[in-house]
Structure 1
């Protein structure tokens, strides 16, 4: 009260515009500020009043921020960075090569790429016959010893990969590497420990930051640090690095403790492409088609629109129970505009909840359009069926995004060479 220059209850009552007796009732220990029905609601739900008063989203955000926060880092203009030499790298969970190709453009020389999916492995081989593609389970590769699959006496400067996000069993407050055995993270971390690279990159979905209330990411960071790496993490937007897509990825960078060089994020590009910039003169290719009933519905949606642009009766029939559920559901019956980046591409181009309809033609993006949106060059071909190709492209790291991050890592390695 004194901070507000209120010295007595009479002063406070005057500020509130009530009598001193009314203020006494409010301050009484027996006073309950909640209406009786509101109190009953709290009692029945067995929650505290503040659990209802404060929106859940706000509580979740506060919890997330408390658990783990993004690293505060400087940035670097990567356009003028060039490697002092070809840096030797190993990639795990390589997929169709989006990350590997971007890293190659940045200046890395791949000495080994581990990928278990036969179609993705074939994609890597048919585009880069000289690459050492290790088509095997990372568990076997890790347990057999990664060096048995690599050229003899080759020092690995850098390891990268995007492992699946899995929850751990928390036996205590601090977990070591052995406590997460059996997860894909364990085998990724074990290979880093075995190769002891100067720098590593772990990229993942944005949801990793809130997975298990942030404990999963916090545990990963702690384990990396116990392996003698200084670790930073950030959420980066692909559209800021030459990709016509609203994809966001978590980027975890580890720099070995004996290298006293801070990591700097790639500076955002001024040029942020939209669909119009990347879908000109796209080579013809195979592509998914809509059933006639669905096509007629999407014909009614304008570019940049979604289900709310449909007549109400059609929207209700098309969406079913989803029409009455909460949230914006903006991916349903969504047609992308020429003048915006695409929403994040998924492994299937025509899922009802994550629609990605062409701006003008009433169809999903075809395979080569998918590849363009992920910034793959037209000459990069994909193996397998149409479904397998969509899956590989949808799961990939956008090439230009990978290049930008790769150049920011080259910056660290160049300084370590000095």
Structure 2
């Protein structure tokens, strides 16, 4: 089985303290640990998530409860991270956005940033956040953060570019306190963190974009989808859709992370075979995902049959055994919890204290550590 890995030339950074909000099972924590950071406070509402977190990182490592009621407990810190609740914005949820009570949790994040003024923050959410209701929700979030005297950069990234066999697109927002930039005498070009890939090969490409006044727009006046990369300061932003991101990491495919044998509880060959005559053959790749057949007519309760030559579709907390099958040899089966962990970049036994059923939701909601690790590393470089 091929393991996904990201090799970093990192120094020990125990002097950098981290706070992890909406921690879940610790995707950001695992990334921070691998980079030598010292996590001093973490929080999640879910008892089961906290149980997994404590098992992996220690009994006193996370505070369980409603984050809004624990704001006074958050200590001063260098780096703030969090995958704030994505269900209000996700295509797998009801898409209520800021109107959803969970969506307002973002304001509590802004309150922590304003109170403690961390040098950096790293936040993660779903791709849909850029487009929902013509960008209204993202504009609200972007404006709230940028007005706190931070340079805010965002970028749409895909897990498949980080050694993971999954098509999972997520928006990462990173912020650097403006006085931190001034102290290190960095200009905006030097401060850009997430644009350093093959589509911005030279600083002049970024400089030309930043130094052109007409590229800057007012956040509050923006009533359209946001591009996949951008910067914001104060009440203005610039953005564009750069070429596809490439990390130059070895591609990993689904067949490389599958367990060689699985139990009968994961095998649905008999029941799937009965439905195959009602499926329409597809035999094509969509964003790296090999689709063999779909329910004829698109019935939601039908089966989608995936191959294993490509990557897996996005794992979610709502993935059901009724909707997905994978053709492995001459058998049809679902993915196992161990395979879910591998596709998300976690150790096989990361959720060992949870039931097999619960692991799907826990892992499907998580931030992939390899993605978080790369982003945090970019943020801290040059400090």
TM-score (structure 1 length as normaliser): 0.64
Q: Is 1:133 matched up with 2:119?
A: no
Superposed, 1:191-340 pairs within 5 Å as 191-260=112-181, 261=186, 262-265=191-194, 267=197, 268-279=247-258, 290=268, 293-294=271-272, 296-297=274-275, 304-308=290-294, 315-316=295-296, 322=298, 333-340=303-310
For residue 251 of structure 1, report the CA deviation from its aligned partner.
Answer: 0.4
The answer for the alignment partner of 2:344 in structure 1 is 374
Q: Name whichever of 375-384 and 338-347 sits farther off.
A: 375-384
For residue 188 of structure 1, report the CA deviation from its aligned partner.
Answer: 1.5
CA-to-aligned-CA distance 1:333-367 (integer Å, 9 cap, x gap): 333333211111122443555x2525333111011
Pick closer, same or farther for the CA change 1:111–1:389 going to 2, 3 Å. same
Cα RMSD of the aligned pairs, angstroms, is 3.1
Q: Distance in 2 between matches of 1:205 and 1:113?
A: 21
Q: Distance in 2 between matches of 1:252 and 1:297?
A: 43
Q: Is 1:96 matched up with 2:17?
A: no
Q: Is 1:146 matched up with 2:73?
A: yes
Q: Is 1:184 matched up with 2:105?
A: yes
Q: Distance in 1 between matches of 2:35 and 2:353?
A: 25
Contact 2:21–2:43 (8 Å) recurs in 1: yes
Q: Distance in 2 between matches of 1:296 and 1:181?
A: 41
For residue 398 of structure 1, report the CA deviation from its aligned partner.
Answer: 1.4
Contact 2:68–2:108 (8 Å) recurs in 1: yes
SS in 2 for 1:201: strand
CA-to-aligned-CA distance 1:380-407 (integer Å, 9 cap, x gap): 2343333321100111111212221121
- Of 352, 356, 364 in structure 1, the residue corresponding to residue 334 of structure 2 is 364
Q: Distance in 2 between matches of 1:111 and 1:218?
A: 31
SS in 2 for 1:156: coil
More helix by share: 1
Pick closer, same or farther for the CA change 1:293–1:285 going to 2, 3 Å. closer
SS in 1 for 2:306: coil
Q: Is 1:391 matched up with 2:361?
A: yes
Contact 1:231–1:253 (8 Å) recurs in 2: yes
Contact 2:293–2:306 (8 Å) recurs in 1: no
Contact 1:237–1:247 (8 Å) recurs in 2: yes
Pick closer, same or farther for the CA change 1:382–1:181 going to 2, 3 Å. closer
Contact 2:308–2:326 (8 Å) recurs in 1: no
Contact 2:160–2:311 (8 Å) recurs in 1: yes
Contact 2:13–2:35 (8 Å) recurs in 1: no
The number of residue pairs the alignment matches comes to 301
For residue 305 of structure 1, report the CA deviation from its aligned partner.
Answer: 3.3
SS in 1 for 2:81: strand
Unmatched runs of 5 consecutive residues or more in structure 1: 1-76, 170-179, 309-314, 324-328
Q: Distance in 1 between matches of 2:42 and 2:269?
A: 39
The answer for the alignment partner of 2:379 in structure 1 is 409
Unmatched runs of 5 consecutive residues or more in structure 2: 1-5, 89-96, 198-246, 284-289
CA-to-aligned-CA distance 1:100-155 (integer Å, 9 cap, x gap): 2122212322111101101110000111116521111111112xx133xx5xxxx4
Q: Distance in 1 between matches of 2:163 and 2:380?
A: 19
SS in 1 for 2:291: coil
Contact 2:272–2:332 (8 Å) recurs in 1: no
TM-score (structure 2 length as normaliser): 0.70
Pick closer, same or farther for the CA change 1:288–1:135 going to 2, 3 Å. farther
Contact 2:321–2:334 (8 Å) recurs in 1: no
Contact 1:306–1:332 (8 Å) recurs in 2: no
Pick closer, same or farther for the CA change 1:298–1:156 going to 2, 3 Å. farther
Q: Name whichever of 334-343 and 210-219 sits farther off.
A: 334-343
More strand by share: 2
The answer for the alignment partner of 2:42 in structure 1 is 113
SS in 2 for 1:159: strand
Q: Distance in 1 between matches of 2:110 and 2:54?
A: 26
